Amino acid sequence: MEGIVYLYVFMLAAFVGYEVISRVPVILHTPLMSGSNFIHGVVLVGGMVALGHAETGFEMLLGFVAVVLGAANAAGGYVVTERMLGMFKSGNRKGGA
C-alpha cells in the first residue's frame, strides 16, 4: 500500500513542478534552472542516510562518495544561484534611478 502512496507523491510532485515553471515568463528561466539545480542537492540527505547505514568498507566508500558529491551539488548550487540573483539586484540599484 505504501508503494502506491508513493506513486501518488510522484504524480502530484510532477504536476507541481510543471505548474511552477509553466507560470514563469520565459525571461526568468535562468535563475530557475540554477535554483532547481540547487534543490536537487537535497540528494545530500539521501547520501547521509546511505552512509549512515553502510557497514562494509566498500559500502562506506560509496556512501562517502555520495555525501561528498551531494554536498558539492548543494553548496555549489546555492552559491552560484545566490551570486546570479545578487548580480541582478546590484543591477537594479545602479539602474533604478
Partner 1 sequence: MTGNWFIHAAYLAVAVVFILGLKAMASPATARKGIVWAGYAMVAAVVVTLFWPGMENRFLIVLGILVGGIPAWRSGKSVAMTDMPQMVAIYNGMGGGAAAAIAAVEFARGEVHGTAITIMAVLGSLIGSVAFSGSCVAWAKLSGKMRKAYRFPSQQTLNIVLAIIVGWLGLGIIVDGDAWAIAILLFFVASLALGVVLTTPIGGADMPVVISLLNAFTGLAVGFEGYVLGIPALIVAGIVVGASGTLLTLLMAKAMNRPIKNVLFTPLTGEASEGGEAIEGQMQETSALDTAATMRYAAKVIIVPGYGMAVAGAQHKVWEMAQLLEEAGVEVAFAIHPVAGRMPGHMNVLLAEAGVPYDKIFDLEEINSDFAQADVALVIGANDVVNPIARTDKSSPIYGMPILNVDQARNVVVVKRGKGTGYSGVENALFYRDNCRMLYGSAQEAIADVIQHVKSMEG
Q: How far is the CB of 8 from partner 1 (least distance, A)?
A: 10
- Evaluate whether 81 touches 65 at the Cβ level (below 8 Å): no
Q: How far is the CB of 83 from partner 1 (least distance, A)?
A: 7
Q: How far is the CB of 19 from partner 1 (least distance, A)?
A: 9
> Cα Rg for the chain, rounded, in angstroms?
18
Question: How far is 87 from 65, CA to CA, in rounded Å?
Answer: 33
